[in-house]
């Protein structure tokens, strides 16, 4: 039996979001999938997201929005490419066909199909435009809001990510399903646009309504991280862990933030312990791309700090290697390259070469795929900089990164996730034999200290720069 708390056909109509199916079970399963997506919880009592998708398709195999949400979730997960995965490409094609042959579906549903098709082609800006078009007429369409939020995240469109939620919030009421989770979405947009105090306030409002909201926990943790409030952040993570740790879709990422606090403090063994006990273990189990890229950047940060991570790269490279030719996100490609460089003695060298060659091929083909367009101007220089740094060509790494440092946000991800590339530029400049680069390193550290006062990591880097350049 389907839990009575999920909305049936009549309930969706009453909310002004009618679904074109006569199956109440299909409507409830759609709601169950949406709920798990928004709350970042894979509810095993319902069979998880996959179980609910199977039940939905059994209830109504031709339910357009059922295909939109199931195929859309796989696409926004960025773990598979329609160019390589025939099953996923077929699912996209089937969704589009259903949108064309079913004449009685709503305009809103047709727009959802169009947005999903744009996203499948790598046309992320067009997909976001369509989701925003839906929200103008239907501000309580949470699927459009969440898809748009993720799309803007992948574009590095921080202001749009914030404003997309701000525009619809007045139309939501506290009694509406999943209302509290909008606080998490909004707080994240606020912190990514550096409204840290307001972001913390909104996130804590969300936690007051739903203490286990892992996204609100993430936002507060992120705020403390950006403000270099290390001890405050550690205390907060420890005090809230029992609430969000059961959230298997975001728990790994929150542990990643926890590990960053220990790196900030210089407590590398504690960070490695979190990597081994949580980040690596959970990433292996989930296979989620977010968990994989977090693991890569965590090891890379530790190595830049001079920590020996031993053979941890080998296992991680085995997870990234199957995705070498995906090229769904430049952000992902950069992290795959970190793992292949780290495991170059275990076959990673060939992966590195293959990844760069594939990226060059896509960058040279004119098409509407946004990420392939980005590859030539930003992705390839960043990848090449990682390679040069790995080979000890620090001055060349600086020459590649410095001109695009204010464009790096275009690869997507959060400020915290992209900070690994800021640190890469600093380390490369510090190690460069070019005097001008050494001066640049000190300038970058002054800039970093101004943005994040009282940062132990920045203080250590400043001391290291003085020793290297004495």
CATH code of the domain in which 237 resides: 1.25.40
Q: Which of 129, 127, 134 is closest to 72 using CA atoms?
A: 127
Long-range contacts of the stretch 400-406 (C-beta < 8 A, 24+)? 401/425, 401/428, 402/440, 404/377, 404/378
Share of the chain residues as helix, strand and coil, in percent rounded to the nearest 5: 75, 0, 25
For the chain, give the mean pLDDT: 95
What does the pLDDT look like over 279-306, one tens digit per residue? 999 999 999 999 999 999 999 999 999 9
Confidence at residue 104, expressed as pLDDT on a 0 to 100 scale = 93
Confidence at residue 2, expressed as pLDDT on a 0 to 100 scale = 46
- Please answer whether residues 347 and 317 qualify as being in contact, where contact means their C-beta atoms are separated by less than 8 angstroms: yes
Domain boundary among 169, 199, 216: 169
Is position 85 within any domain?
yes
Number of domains the chain contains: 2
Domain boundary among 215, 243, 271: 243
Give the ranges where 40-157 is alpha helix by DSSP (H). Answer: 48-59, 64-76, 86-101, 107-120, 124-137, 142-155
Instruction: Looking at the structure, tell me whether residues 153 and 238 fall in a common domain.
Output: no
What b/e string do you get for 102-140 counting C-beta neighbours within 10 Å, with b at 16 or more?
eeebeebbbbbbbbbbbbbbbbbebbbebbbbbbeebbb
Instruction: Looking at the structure, tell me whether residues 165 and 235 fall in a common domain.
Output: no
Instruction: Looking at the structure, tell me whether residues 49 and 159 fall in a common domain.
Output: yes
Confidence at residue 4, expressed as pLDDT on a 0 to 100 scale = 59
Instruction: Looking at the structure, tell me whether residues 165 and 189 fall in a common domain.
Output: no
Confidence at residue 413, expressed as pLDDT on a 0 to 100 scale = 97
Is position 122 within any domain?
yes
Long-range contacts of the stretch 269-274 (C-beta < 8 A, 24+)? 271/298, 271/302, 272/302, 272/307, 272/309
Is position 208 within any domain?
yes
Is position 342 within any domain?
no
Contact residues for 372 (Cβ-Cβ < 8 A; gap 6+): 122, 327, 362, 363, 365
Is position 405 within any domain?
no
- Name which of 11-20, 204-213, 341-350 the model is least confident about: 341-350
Q: For residue 78, is it left (φ>0), alpha (ψ between -120 and 50) or beta? A: left
Is position 152 within any domain?
yes
Instruction: Looking at the structure, tell me whether residues 158 and 11 fall in a common domain.
Output: yes
Q: Which of 174, 170, 222, 214 is closest to 196 using CA atoms?
A: 222
Is position 115 within any domain?
yes
Average pLDDT, integer, range 29-58: 96
Confidence at residue 459, expressed as pLDDT on a 0 to 100 scale = 97
Instruction: Looking at the structure, tell me whether residues 204 and 80 fall in a common domain.
Output: no
Average pLDDT, integer, range 170-188: 96
Average pLDDT, integer, range 243-255: 92
Instruction: Looking at the structure, tell me whether residues 130 and 25 fall in a common domain.
Output: yes
Instruction: Looking at the structure, tell me whether residues 184 and 70 fall in a common domain.
Output: no
Is position 199 within any domain?
yes
Give the ranges where 193-250 is alpha helix by DSSP (H). Answer: 196-209, 214-226, 230-244
Residue 3: which pLDDT band, with cuts at 50, 70 and 90?
Answer: low
* Nearest-angstrom CA–CA distance, 299 and 313: 8
Instruction: Looking at the structure, tell me whether residues 152 and 188 fall in a common domain.
Output: no
Contact residues for 364 (Cβ-Cβ < 8 A; gap 6+): 376
First to last CA, the chain: 72
Range of the domain at 226: 180-243
Instruction: Looking at the structure, tell me whether residues 46 and 127 fall in a common domain.
Output: yes
- Please answer whether residues 401 and 421 qualify as being in contact, where contact means their C-beta atoms are separated by less than 8 angstroms: yes
Confidence at residue 95, expressed as pLDDT on a 0 to 100 scale = 98
What does the pLDDT look like over 363-419, one tens digit per residue? 887 778 999 999 999 999 999 999 999 999 999 999 999 999 999 999 999 999 999
Confidence at residue 1, expressed as pLDDT on a 0 to 100 scale = 35
Largest CA distance in the chain: 75
DSSP-based three-state secondary structure for 18: coil
C-alpha distances in Å from residue 283, one per residue of 10, 163, 251, 448: 39, 31, 10, 31
What does the pLDDT look like over 106-130, one tens digit per residue? 999 999 999 999 999 999 999 999 9
Instruction: Looking at the structure, tell me whether residues 189 and 156 fall in a common domain.
Output: no
Instruction: Looking at the structure, tell me whether residues 123 and 217 fall in a common domain.
Output: no
Domain boundary among 200, 226, 243: 243
């Amino acid at each position: 039996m389907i839990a009575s708390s999920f909305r049936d056909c009549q309930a969706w109509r009453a909310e002004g979001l009618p679904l074109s199916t006569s199956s109440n079970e299909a409507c409830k399963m759609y709601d169950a999938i949406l709920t798990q997506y928004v709350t970042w919880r894979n509810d095993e009592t319902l069979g998880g997201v996959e179980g609910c998708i199977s039940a939905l398709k059994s209830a109504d195999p031709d339910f357009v929005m059922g295909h939109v949400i199931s195929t859309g979730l796989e696409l926004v997960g960025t773990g598979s490419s329609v160019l390589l995965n025939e099953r996923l490409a077929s699912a996209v094609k089937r969704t589009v066909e259903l949108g064309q042959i079913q004449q009685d579906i709503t305009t809103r549903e047709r727009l959802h199909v169009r947005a999903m098709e744009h996203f499948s082609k790598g046309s992320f800006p067009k997909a976001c435009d369509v989701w925003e078009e839906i929200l103008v007429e239907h501000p309580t369409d949470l699927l459009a809001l969440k898809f748009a939020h993720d799309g803007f995240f992948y574009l590095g469109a921080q202001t749009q990510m914030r404003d997309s939620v701000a525009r619809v919030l007045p139309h939501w009421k506290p009694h509406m399903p999943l209302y509290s989770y909008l606080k998490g979405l909004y707080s994240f947009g606020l912190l990514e646009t550096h409204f840290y105090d307001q972001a913390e306030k909104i996130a804590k409002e969300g936690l007051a309504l739903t203490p286990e909201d892992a996204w609100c926990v993430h936002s507060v943790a992120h705020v403390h991280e950006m403000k270099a409030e290390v001890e405050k952040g550690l205390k907060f993570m420890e005090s809230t862990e029992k609430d969000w740790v059961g959230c298997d879709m975001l728990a790994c990422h929150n542990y990643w933030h926890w590990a960053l606090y220990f790196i900030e403090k210089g407590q590398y063994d504690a960070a490695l312990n979190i990597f081994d006990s949580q980040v690596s273990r959970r990433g292996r189990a989930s296979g989620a791309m977010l968990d994989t890229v977090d693991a890569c950047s965590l090891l890379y940060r530790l190595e830049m700090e001079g920590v020996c991570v031993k053979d941890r790269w080998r296992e991680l490279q085995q997870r990234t290697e199957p995705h070498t030719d995906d090229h769904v996100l430049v952000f992902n490609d950069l992290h795959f390259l970190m793992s292949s460089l780290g495991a170059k003695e275990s076959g990673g060298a060939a992966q590195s070469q293959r990844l760069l060659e594939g990226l060059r091929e896509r960058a040279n083909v004119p098409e509407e795929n946004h990420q392939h367009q980005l590859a030539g101007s930003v992705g390839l220089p960043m990848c090449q900089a990682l390679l040069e740094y790995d080979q000890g060509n620090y001055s060349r790494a600086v020459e590649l990164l410095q001109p695009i440092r204010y464009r790096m946000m275009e690869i997507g991800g959060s400020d915290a996730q992209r900070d690994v590339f800021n640190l890469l530029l600093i380390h490369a400049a510090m190690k460069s034999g070019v005097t001008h680069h050494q001066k640049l390193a000190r300038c970058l550290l002054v800039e970093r200290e101004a943005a994040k006062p009282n940062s132990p990591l920045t203080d250590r880097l400043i001391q290291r720069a003085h020793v290297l350049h004495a």
